[in-house]
Structure 1
Amino acid sequence: MPIIVCPLARVPHMIETRRPDRIVSLLDPETPFPDSGGVSRHLRLGMHDITEIYAGQIPPMATHVENVLQFIADWDRADPVLVHCYAGISRSTATAFTIACALNPDTDEAEIAWTLRRASPSAWPNARIVALADAALSRGGRMTAAIHAIGAGRAWHEIGEAEPFEIPSAYEAAA
């Protein structure tokens, strides 16, 4: 089953139509989390969409990435996982990339990154989340390099929010 990415406003529709096994919500700490619509596995992470440390803001941290990795460790992939942030552009795309890399340790990170780019031209994965995941998964900078190679997507203030999309949860391992 796929990893589905969407903005906050589309979460109820995605729950209703795609019936995810679990949900990962990545929102500013002051933003209310959506109702999980009967989905019992819901990871709620409060962080700002920033790549550097700023006073009064909570950056993505290693504990956030570890929580995601633990949360998906027992996912059987029988049903999709839904990942969302406010706009479906940065935190959620970085987290979807993290999940795909974690579940596919023998797959080239660039293949997963380009799959993400083809699925969402607006994706602009949060570089801090990617770097933290790169370290947590011992990828030696390859995740960071792969995301850098696909380039920036469109900023939320240009498009408002991204269209929902999905990427595979399983890839063919390189020979």
Structure 2
Amino acid sequence: MTMENARMLPLLPFPLTICGIDELPEHAEAGVSHVLTIIDPDWPDPEHFRAFKPHKRTIWRFHDIVNEHDGQQHPTERNVRAILDYGTALQDEAVAHLLVHCHMGISRSTATAAILMAQHNPGREAEAFAHLAGIRPQAWPNSRMIGMADRLLDRGGALVAAMRDLHKVQVRALKPEMVNYLRTSERGAEVPKDE
């Protein structure tokens, strides 16, 4: 198989949807077989899944932060290992459609989706983030999660570099007030300095 042909192979063997909590009702009839829910530790479980057909659901609870803060549960290596274990387990399951969601469908869910796409596709990290941007244009993956995945998958910085390239594209597309907000928030280190 040539490299060109290999590049045409899908990153995941099933459809992937990413969304926020408010968008969940839009996907109730989409044939979702597996759901990953990533929400804050104290957030109530979304009730939207009552309208979904039977599916297998996994729930993880941690905050969308990249630095440690008192009273908040940051993503840990244990959380990222759970994502990787989940991706490995999916290889042995009949997955018709995977839906990954967090509160807004912007950070934790997009980081998780990128990790799942890159996990079994070494050398295709940039493709994973390009595909991510195609299916979730507002994606701004959590850099803490991506950094840990890069180390655990032994990608030598390729995952982090691909995420940074996506962040560069996203900064150009964002409204200036959003860029300023990001720069002054705890996520400021994720904003490219030259943009």
Q: Do these two structures clear the TM 0.5 threshold for a shared fold by scoring above it?
A: yes
Between the aligned residues of both structures, percent identity stands at 31
CA distance in 1, matches of 2:89, 2:15: 15
Q: Report the residue type matching 1:148 in the other structure.
A: R
> What are the Cα deviations for residues 85-120 of structure 1, in whole angstroms up to 9, with x where unaligned?
000111111000001011323x42112112222333
Q: Find out whether 1:96 has 2:109 as its counterpart.
A: no
TM-score between the two structures when normalised by the length of structure 2: 0.71
1:127 has 2:143 as partner: yes
Residue from 35, 42, 61 that aligns with 1:23:
35
Query: Larger Cα Rg: Structure 1 or Structure 2?
Result: 2
- Give the equivalent residue in structure 2 for 1:145: 161
Partner of 1:72: 87
Contact 2:21–2:46 (CA under 8 A) maintained in structure 1: yes
Q: What code does the residue aligned with 1:67 have? A: A
Gap runs ≥5 in structure 2? 1-13, 179-195
Q: TM-score, normalised by structure 1?
A: 0.79
Q: Does 2:124 match 1:108?
A: yes
What CA deviation, in whole Å up to 9, does each residue of 1:40-90 have, x standing for no partner? Answer: 421111111101111110001111111122223232464111100000111
RMSD of aligned C-alpha atoms? 2.1
User: Could you list the runs of 5+ residues in structure 1 that have no partner in the other structure?
Assistant: 159-175
Change (3 A) 1:103 1:32: farther
Select which of 6, 18, 21 maps to 1:8.
Answer: 21
Bigger helix share: 2
